Amino acid sequence: MAASAVVGALACQVDSYLRNFETTVVSCRQIKTAPPSKASKKSKLPTTPSDDTQECFEVELKDTILFPEGGGQPSDHGVIATPDAEFPVLAIRRALLTALHQVPKHIEPNTLVKLEVDWKRRFDHMQQHSGQHLISAILDQMEVPTLAWSLGEKVSYVELPRKLTDEEVLEVEDRCNDVIRQGIDIWVEVPDKDLVNKNKLPDDYDAERGILRVVHIGNLDANPCCGTHLKNTREMGSITLLHQLPIRGLNSRLHFMIGDRVREYARESNNLTRALNSRLSCQTEEIELKISRLESQLRDSLKREKLWMADVVKAEAARVNEELKLVKKSYVYRGDIVGLDYFNSLVVEMGKLEPNSGVVILASGAGKNGGALLVIGDGADKVASKIRDDCIIKALKGGGKGAKWQGKITQWEKGEVESLEAFFDRLEV
């Protein structure tokens, strides 16, 4: 006989509405670090501290109202209170048939403890989990089996063997909400073990010594499950089906939210809509039209910019070539751009730079945005080395050989643009 209640017959599974509970500590042992919780990791729910210098203990209790993760449902959060102290419990894991509660301090065996479950989190999990059973039951009737499911922090999903059509999604949602309104009872049955489909049991669950439960939704559904469930479909409030995402070939993840999450989602959507109304200065019905107009304006602007840029490049290339002919050096600085694209176009427009044509210094960017430096022509690498050696631009990195050197300027410091210009004026070619 096990000293504690087995997973399958824990107090939280027998009566999922217990919020407080008294029990005793059976054992407590230190573990090196909190073992990573798979479900929690997946759903980004908080886990026990990962800092391995922190102490962590696993407590086995005579019985518990804190659900260990299982059946796709993440572990509860709660509090264990001894007569002298209170400890947060942020992870409970199942080890074979035993629930182990992770706490930051050692608790002596036989200590009488009081448990409290984080009811908001638990009730939310019950809404999502019972709701998932309902969605899957309706999908089963439409001959779409559920292959897997995940209870996420904000949004959950069922994985299906194919993408549903928009009409099917609406139909499933309508039928689920109809069942919710009918107020159908949900209950747990512990039938004869031979009658239970054991395919869905975890590999390490001892079916002989454990308890096999079947969760019923009226006559609609009977599903082997270890989770904590609502008593009536009415407690789900409502079900909203969201987007689908393709996964593993033809499979599709149908996302959903249930109960209080639907209200939260409506609140967030409303806030977003109001922000868009204000930013775009328009009514909700006009948002799409307004964005289309902005997109079209942006496309036109980019087209215009390209044309103007071509004109500017042409004029600048002519000026540079003229200067090279006259004084064998030229300098271009553009504070309004950061990268090298403009200079690359300029170099193409200038045409081939023959040896002994002179040297061109091209610099871009300003202040904290940084910029680029391109030196081309006779002894370009030596000119660039001099700029670096003389510390004219401190945050300059780059390289090149012979007639081409290019580099990045992480940031322009005050006065550096002027220093570069003065350097160019002094430059003898």
**Where along the sequence are the contacts to Zn ion (CB under 5 A)?**
71, 225, 227
CA 16 vs CA 89, 126, 297: distances in Å: 18, 9, 57
In the complex, the smallest distance separating the C-beta of residue 227 from Zn ion, rounded to whole angstroms, is 5
Compute the residue count for the chain: 429
In the complex, the smallest distance separating the C-beta of residue 74 from Zn ion, rounded to whole angstroms, is 13
By beta carbon distance, the residue nearest Zn ion is 225
CA distance linking residue 240 with residue 230, whole number of Å: 18
Judged by CB, which is closer to Zn ion: 227, or 371? Answer: 227
Judged by CB, which is closer to Zn ion: 126, or 313? Answer: 126
Q: What is the DSSP letter of 319?
A: H
Q: Give me the helix-helix angle, 341-350 and 287-327, nearest 10°.
A: 50
Judged by CB, which is closer to Zn ion: 123, or 342? Answer: 123
Q: How far apart are the first and last CA of the chain?
A: 95
List alpha helices for 104-243, DSSP H.
Answer: 119-141, 166-182
List alpha helices for 94-165, DSSP H.
Answer: 119-141
In the complex, the smallest distance separating the C-beta of residue 67 from Zn ion, rounded to whole angstroms, is 12
Judged by CB, which is closer to Zn ion: 71, or 370? Answer: 71
In the complex, the smallest distance separating the C-beta of residue 130 from Zn ion, rounded to whole angstroms, is 8
Judged by CB, which is closer to Zn ion: 236, or 366? Answer: 236
Judged by CB, which is closer to Zn ion: 204, or 285? Answer: 204
Q: Report the candidate in 358, 375, 360 with the shortest Cα–Cα distance to residue 409.
A: 375
CB 297 within 8 A of CB 273: no
3-class DSSP state for residue 168? Answer: helix
CA distance linking residue 72 with residue 247, whole number of Å: 18
In the complex, the smallest distance separating the C-beta of residue 154 from Zn ion, rounded to whole angstroms, is 20
Q: Tell me whether strands 156-160 and 148-150 are parallel, antiparallel or unpaired.
A: antiparallel
In the complex, the smallest distance separating the C-beta of residue 149 from Zn ion, rounded to whole angstroms, is 8
Judged by CB, which is closer to Zn ion: 125, or 334? Answer: 125
In the complex, the smallest distance separating the C-beta of residue 132 from Zn ion, rounded to whole angstroms, is 7
Judged by CB, which is closer to Zn ion: 152, or 227? Answer: 227
Backbone torsion region of residue 262, taken as left when φ is above 0, otherwise alpha when ψ lies between -120 and 50, otherwise beta: alpha
Q: Classify residue 171 as exposed, middle or buried by CB count within 10 Å of its CB (0-12, 13-18, 19+).
A: middle
In the complex, the smallest distance separating the C-beta of residue 152 from Zn ion, rounded to whole angstroms, is 15
* Angle in degrees, CA 352, 358, 360, rounded to 5: 80
In the block, tokens 């264990």 appear at 80
In the complex, the smallest distance separating the C-beta of residue 278 from Zn ion, rounded to whole angstroms, is 43
Count of beta carbons in the 10 Å neighbourhood of residue 372:
22
CA distance linking residue 203 with residue 71, whole number of Å: 12
| Structure token pair of residue 118 | 């984080």
Judged by CB, which is closer to Zn ion: 126, or 366? Answer: 126
Judged by CB, which is closer to Zn ion: 227, or 377? Answer: 227
In the complex, the smallest distance separating the C-beta of residue 226 from Zn ion, rounded to whole angstroms, is 7
